[in-house]
Amino acid sequence: MVSRVIPVQPFDLVIFGGTGDLARRKILPALFRRFCAGQMAEDARVIGAARGDMNAAGYRGFARDAITEFDGDITMMEAHLARFLEQVDYVTLDAAGDVGWPELAAKLTGADHTRAFYFSVGPALFGPLATRLYDHGLASPGCRIVVEKPFGRDLASARKLNAVLAEHFDETQIYRIDHYLGKETVQNLMAIRFANTLFEPLWNSQYVDHMQITVAESGGVGTRGGYYDKSGAMRDMMQNHIMQLLCLTAMEPPAKYDPDSVRDEKLKVIRALDPVEPGDVVRGQYESTDTLPGYRNEVENRDTTTESFVALKARIGNWRWAGTPFYLRTGKRLRARASEIAVVFKDAPHSIFGADAGRHRNILTIRLQPNEGIEMGVTIKEPGPGGMRLVDVPLDMTFSEALGPQSEDIPDAYERLIMDVIRGDQTLFMRGDEVEAAWAWTDPIIEGWEAAGTQPELYSTGSSGPDDALALIHRDGRRWREIKP
Ligand code: BG6
């Protein structure tokens, strides 16, 4: 199989915060890879904009270093890199002042290109940037703006950000990134659900006992402690990435694969979520080991009550899911980096093999990362004489084996998403009302913790999280899937 690369129309992409961490680690390497794949037109331009006093040559050096550092071995790509850098430019600019705006406007004038502005800056600068783009005549009707998470830290701040952007831009111009939606396997969730007839008849509370969504990380907060300690797992992962996975798992089939059809269905799921009972949510914080610092040491805050782990039981109050709980968990410094969605089906209504045959359940697991694939647990007869003994075995398909070399060429989430911005496809971006609805659901949970002033439960590095998280599901007579690499 050969993957088809369809070039996108010529574009000018301005990266505000062009010398920042995200530009270095993700945006510039992603653009370079799309360039190598032949997707960027020869006259497309990438313009870094930041306060630093630098010329275009200096920024090209910065981009070269970033790509070399974050794109692995690029020795084969040297020629490509030189050509890519010719399309890279820079402007010294003050996002909240006047410096640099006329120069930027001059660079953008004349070209009949799709214009995109990447706000790779803190949310406090969204307003000033939007206003200046408008004042300098750059907020043309066809232009797009791209904003990153965190989109607010609660419903009130998210509403403010939406209002600030809406002053000068239409919702169809705003691309709110949740990079999980750009992951190939996350998109595959929709393909698995809606391109196969096999699953849909069973995908409801009549057949599904419960769902488990796990996004486990083995790393700690590392150098991001300053940001993370003000957020915690609930704001950093649950409100966005896990919520998106929940939506794609639980939503009704959209009529079409287009931005509003898909996002309307996701929104309905979020709005149908019941409030979470305080007893149905557990938070944790990792302890130090002999060799690794604990959460508190890493964020250099001995009294912090921020959680690095959260697990909860969500209930969706609609016809499809009434009675089927969704157990969600995410955390850092867990046993392995492993993300999956497990659909645990109900027991067979009657066992013809008697009580001795034990309890056997079909479990469909969609592995998101690493080792992306699908596994279906089926029950068969254990070979050999001595009666009917049953055993559960996996029907296992790893995408890389099934698809061959093509699957090794899977674009990073940012590659896919940035190209979608240029193409004008918002399907994999969050709409303003979706983000607000997600905060409306998580806010009371966080407020409850703040009001109670309780500490998160400590858990050991390399474990599956705090004991209370195990109890959360055990008391319902269920168990978490093992977190394994
Ligand atoms: C980010 C979070 O959005 O996602 C990080 O801020 C987290 O804390 C990361 O580590 C996980 O992304 P991925 O792609 O490594 O699963």
Three-class SS state of 43: coil
Distance (Å) of CA 414 to CA 13, 154, 440: 14, 25, 27
Q: Tell me, using a 6 A CB cutoff, whether residue 236 lines ligand 1.
A: yes
Task: State which of 217, 230, 412 you would mutate to test the pocket of ligand 1, scoring each by most atoms of that ligand within 8 A of its C-beta.
Answer: 217
CB 214 within 8 A of CB 309: no
* pLDDT of amino acid 72: 64
Q: Which residue has the higher pLDDT, 94 or 407?
A: 94
Looking at residue 24, the DSSP 8-state letter turns out to be I
Task: Identify any residues that bridge with 144 across adjacent strands, giving them in sequence order.
Answer: 116
Residues with Cβ < 8 Å from 59, sequence gap 6 or more?
Answer: 18, 19, 48, 88, 89, 90
Helix, strand, coil shares, percent, the chain, to 5: 40, 20, 40
C-alpha of 152 from chain center: 16
**What amino acid is encoded at 158 in this protein?**
A
Band of residue 70 on the pLDDT scale cut at 50, 70, 90: confident
Residue 161 Cα, ligand 1 centroid: separation in angstroms?
22
Mean pLDDT of 362-370: 93
Q: Could you tell me the distance, in angstroms and rounded to a whole number, from the CA of residue 417 to the centre of ligand 1?
A: 16
Are the C-beta atoms of residues 229 and 258 closer than 8 Å to each other?
A: no
Give the angle subtended at the CA of 404 by the CAs of 426 and 40, to the nearest 5°: 40
Question: Where in the sequence numbering do the catalytic residues fall?
Answer: 241
- What are the tokens at 122? 């803190």
Q: Residue 178: CB within 6 Å of ligand 1?
A: no
pTM of the predicted model as reported, rounded to 2 decimal places: 0.95
**Residue 217 CA to its chain's centroid (Å):** 13
| CA 128 – CA 101 distance, rounded (Å) | 12
CA distance 98 to 92: 11
> 88 is written with which tokens?
């890279």
For residues 72 and 22, give the distance between their C-alpha atoms in angstroms, rounded to a whole number. 17
End-to-end CA distance of the chain: give it in Å, rounded. Answer: 29
Nearest CA to ligand 1 atom 9: 237
Cβ burial 428-452 (10 Å sphere, 16+ → b, else e)? bbbbbebbbbbbbbbbebbeebeee
Lowest mean pLDDT among 204-208, 346-350, 414-418: 346-350
Q: Is 148 in the pocket of ligand 1 (CB under 6 A)?
A: no
Residue 481, judged by CB atoms within 10 A of its CB (0-12, 13-18, 19+), counts as middle
- CA of residue 162 to ligand 1 center, whole Å: 23
Closest approach atom of ligand 1 to CA 219: 10
Atom of ligand 1 nearest to the CA of 369: 16
pLDDT band for 387, please (50, 70, 90 cuts): confident
Atom index in ligand 1 nearest the CA of residue 221 equals 8
Q: How many CB atoms lie within 10 A of CB 114?
A: 19
**Mean pLDDT of all residues in 252-263:** 97
Instruction: Count CA atoms within 13 Å of residue 38 on its CB side.
Output: 4
Which residue, 319, 310, 327, is CA-closest to 210? 327
pLDDT tens by residue, 29-44: 999 999 998 999 889 9
Q: Which of 261, 121, 123, 218 has its CA nearest to residue 465?
A: 218
Q: Once rounded to an integer, what is the mean pLDDT over residues 202-231?
A: 95
Nearest CA to ligand 1 atom 5: 236
Decide if pLDDT at 2 tops 50. Answer: no
Judge contact between 130 and 165, C-beta under 8 A.
yes
- How far does residue 334's CA lie from ligand 1's centre (Å)? 14
How confident is the model over 359-368, as a mean pLDDT?
A: 91
| Residue pLDDT, tens place only, 138-150 | 999 999 999 998 8
* Sign of torsion over alpha carbons 139, 143, 146, 152: positive
Report the atom number in ligand 1 closest to the C-alpha of 183.
Answer: 14
- pLDDT cut 90: percent of the chain above it: 79
Q: What is the mean pLDDT of the chain?
A: 93
Q: pLDDT value at position 404?
A: 79
* Rounded Cα gap, residues 78 and 242, in angstroms: 38
| Residue 85 Rama label (left phi>0; alpha psi -120 to 50; beta) | alpha
Q: Check: CB of residue 246 under 8 Å from CB of residue 326.
A: yes
Q: What is the pLDDT of residue 1?
A: 45
Distance 387 CA to ligand 1 centre (A): 49
Q: Specify the amino acid at residue 93.
A: L
